[in-house]
Amino acid sequence: MDEQLRIETRDRCGSAVTLVVERDRHSVFQVYARLGGGERCLCHGWATRRKEDGFRHGIICPPHLLEVPREDWERALAVREDLRDRDNLEHIRLVKVFSRGNKLVVDGYTLSARVDRQTWSGIAPYMREVDSGVNDELLEGDHFRGWIIDRGQEETVERVLGVKPHNTLRARAEREEDPEGQDRIRK
């Protein structure tokens, strides 16, 4: 197991707890806790529970509430999310978004899925955040709140993301123009 996926910590009683991010049987990254005695359990989230002697905070890991430092949980969760988002790169593509209101028009491309932090840092200079909710009236399209690619930077973003050739905007436009040539483009 890669060391960045393993976090050694201790619970409130001083017992060793190891938080590990690994794939489950469905190939989805999850956070697991390994407890003394070799017990392994799936972590479900952070919770606050009321007990006789006050409130307890920790990771829900049935049948336990693991009272570990919240920073350790947040670190494990961030690693899990980045690994899941990195998996999205396999099928990533750009998606057209359009919204026209009385104050703002959103017309551009966004990503088909979230990406990991490292990938995001490579494309962030070409992205801008928009929110069509500033419109009092939506005249055309759908409400959109998120990040769109600066006009003219679509190919640059596709290159940084490593979009597969058959998923690029250019290839998809060619398929729309020549539906008979779809198989030829994919190969």
pLDDT at residue 158 greater than cutoff 90: yes
What span, in angstroms and rounded, lies between the C-alpha atoms of 63 and 39? 11
Domain boundaries, the chain: 3-88, 92-186
> DSSP secondary structure string, 115-176?
--HHHHHHHGGGEEEEEGGG-SSEEEE---EEEEEPTT-HHHHHHHHT--GGGSHHHHHHHH
Quote the pLDDT of residue 3: 38
3-state helix, strand, coil in the chain (%, to 5): 35, 35, 25
Residue 187 has pLDDT above 80, yes or no: no
Assign 12 to helix, strand or coil. Answer: coil
What is the distance between the alpha carbons of residues 103 and 159, in angstroms, rounded to a whole number? 33
Rounded to the nearest integer, the mean pLDDT of the chain is 88
- How many whole angstroms separate alpha carbon 76 and alpha carbon 78? 5
CA 174 to CA 93: how far, in whole Å? Answer: 15
Q: What's the pLDDT score for residue 147?
A: 95
Residue 141 backbone zone (phi > 0: left; psi -120 to 50: alpha; other: beta): left
What percent of the chain stands above pLDDT 90? 50
Exposure class string for 1-18: b at 16+ Cβ within 10 A, else e? eeeebebebebeeeeebe
**pLDDT-based confidence at residue 105 (cuts at 50, 70, 90):** confident
- The pLDDT tens digits for 16-38 are 899 999 988 888 899 999 988 78
Please state, in angstroms and rounded to a whole number, the distance separating the CA atoms of residues 155 and 126.
11
pLDDT at 31: 93
Radius of gyration from C-alpha coordinates of the chain: 22
Q: Letter for the amino acid at 187?
A: K
Query: DSSP class of residue 15?
Result: -
Higher-confidence residue of 133 and 37: namely: 133
pLDDT band at 183 (very low <50, low <70, confident <90, very high): low
Kindly report the number of other CB atoms within 10 A of residue 145's CB atom.
Answer: 12
pLDDT of residue 108: 92
Residue 73 banded pLDDT, cuts 50, 70, 90: very high
Q: Backbone phi, then psi, for 170, in 5-degree steps?
A: -60, -45
Does this model's pTM top 0.75? no
